[in-house]
Amino acid sequence: MDKYIAEVKARCKKLGLDPNEVPSFTRVTEYELTRIEEKYHTTLSVIRLFIRKFLKKTKGTPLLVTVTDNLGTFIEYLGDESLEQTIVHQIGMQKGIQFTENKAGVSSVLAAIELEKPIQLLGADHYHSFLQTAACYSVPLYVNHKLIGTISVMTFLDYAHPMILTTLETVVDSIASELDLREQNHYLDKMNQMMLEQSTTGYIVIDNDGTIMNVNPKAKSILPKVQLNSNSIYEIEPFNHLYNHFKSGQKIRSYEVMIHHSSNIVCLVDYFPFLGGGLIQLQDITEYKKTEAYIQDAEKLSILGQLAAGIAHEIKNPLTTLKGFIQLIQEKNYNESFTPIMIKEIERINQITNEFLDLSRPTVLSKEAYDIQKIFQELEVFLSSLALPKNIEFSQTYHGNTNIYCDSNQLKQVFINIFKNCVEAVDHNGKVHLTVRPYDSHNLLIRFEDNGEGFPKHILNKMGQPFVTTKKHGHGLGVMVCKRIVETVHFGQLRMYNNDNGAVIDVVLPRNHK
């Protein structure tokens, strides 16, 4: 340090700087000062907080604290009035003046910036005579390893003490830590904001009263009411009811809702606690649902194709009967007993074609009270047509109340698909048995059992996943569709396992889930 002081004094002397004259410092323009103060606004607010605490603890000691930017521009000072009335006024110290070597001579501020370390200058260390009654301490201030300025303490030489510099270093370290933390938080806030702005997931932030605090662009595109500046979540259906459930302690996870506006949107909704309020997450699954419906309809059409031959056979029988009666009528052999029989056969054809059309229609969720036994009665033609080519024995057992709340058309697709798999799994003259009985007080069990070889153990736990199948040319989508209808649409369970006789497929459905 002594070498540095000697070199600076030599340069000042060479420049002809008079040590007995008070220097006249250069001051930046008001515009430039305003720009610097705006840049250091947050930094200065933190510095003032810590320096005021520091001055309060050192009350009684005449201290003046000054702050500069990284170029030595004076931007703030706080402290003892006695120093302000002497040294500060004597040199015309004010915000915006710049400490430069050709004006300030030996300066702790410039030394701290140049040497990048804490500096202490006492009395005669200074070049100018009027400063030789002062002690100056300066510490460089770094934020995220970048020099942003200095914080200095000036006092009378009589009050000089090494602990002043040590204490100042501690204070500056605390300021730097706080500024580091704030800058990191600011960076994280910007990153989070950018992620929210660019996210394909919608987010709505609400306070404890349901007031909407923030909405990202995706959420605005999903909920047009938010886009029209709704102030409360209670103004938006069905999120108002969900929020009440959430506040009462219920978990809202992957709750499926339909948003109706120019184009219907299907969303999975999640509610999370957040900053004393809540965070609503909206995942747009509209395209997924369309794809899922397409797969389900494609699987349905695949089944219908296989049923076509059996259906043709079933229709051929009543058509043959009708043809015979029509020929008798043409031959003038009409009998009144013909009419009821012909009407019955026509109704039989009508029933078969209606069932076929029902299955071929696109899937639309429609739940109502229905008897499972009635569903299998309506499927009799289809199941018989599947069993006929291999002469499969299909037996059925029903116990107790078999009524549930369901979408009967979708369950028909499930039951046809399961039965078809059972038929394909057994040999010629094989057996398939259906049991329908109460599972417990709230659920109904529909069990299919066959006498085939059962499920291979290596894929049993993967059944229901796409492309997991026991068939040589299968794709596994049929079981996947069944699983979705049972578990997602009806909130039931689909289980597949083996017993001593073959494969078992259990469908457990809640009786009253709407």
437 — phi, psi (to 5°)? -155, 165
Output the pLDDT for position 26: 84
Instruction: State how beta strands 493-498 and 503-510 pair.
Output: antiparallel
Q: In the structure encoding, which two tokens stand for residue 74, read together?
A: 């004076």
Topology alike, domains 2-190 and 199-284 = yes
Contact 8, 19 (CB under 8 A): no
Rounded to the nearest angstrom, the gap between the alpha carbon of residue 97 and the centroid of all alpha carbons in its chain is 51
Q: In the structure encoding, which two tokens stand for residue 132, read together?
A: 């030789």
Q: How far apart are CA 256 and CA 51, in angstroms?
A: 55
Note the helical H segments in 237-379: 239-247, 286-330, 338-360, 372-378
Q: In the structure encoding, which two tokens stand for residue 339, read together?
A: 């009419």
279 — phi, psi (to 5°)? -120, 120
Q: In the structure encoding, which two tokens stand for residue 401, read together?
A: 């109340």
Residue 276 Cα distances to 50, 100, 193, 263, 497, angstroms: 30, 52, 19, 34, 47
Output the pLDDT for position 473: 45
For the chain, the domains span 2-190, 199-284, 289-510
DSSP H or E stretch at residue 334: none
Collapsing DSSP states into helix, strand and coil, what is residue 91? coil
Angle at 106 between CA 84 and CA 32, to 5 degrees: 65
Q: What is the CA radius of gyration of the chain?
A: 43
Contact 449, 432 (CB under 8 A): yes
Output the pLDDT for position 335: 76
How confident is the model over 19-29, as pLDDT tens digits? 888 887 888 88
Q: How far apart are CA 21 and CA 400, in angstroms?
A: 112
Q: Determine how many CB atoms are found less than 10 A away from the CB of residue 141.
A: 23
284 — phi, psi (to 5°)? -75, 115
Nearest one of 302, 300, 264, 298 to 284, comparing CA atoms = 264
Output the pLDDT for position 19: 86
Report the C-alpha dihedral over residues 448, 373, 417, 365, rounded to 10 degrees.
-130
Nearest one of 135, 69, 121, 55 to 97, comparing CA atoms = 69
Contact 55, 63 (CB under 8 A): yes
Could you say which of 3.30.450.40, 3.30.9.100, 3.90.1150.10, 3.30.930.10 is the CATH number of the domain covering 2-190? 3.30.450.40
Q: How far apart are CA 216 and CA 234, in angstroms?
A: 18
The pTM assigned to this predicted structure is: 0.48
CATH superfamily of domain region 199-284 = PAS domain (3.30.450.20)
Output the pLDDT for position 393: 93
Output the pLDDT for position 374: 93
What is the arrangement of strands in the sheet containing 202-206, beginning at the earlier edge strand?
212-215, 202-206, 277-284, 265-274, 255-259
Residues in the chain with pLDDT values less than 70: 80-92, 224-230, 261-262, 292, 295-314, 317, 351-352, 354-365, 458-478, 513-514
Output the pLDDT for position 303: 59
Angle between helices 30-39 and 41-57 (to 10 degrees): 80
CATH topology of domain 289-510: Heat Shock Protein 90 (3.30.565)
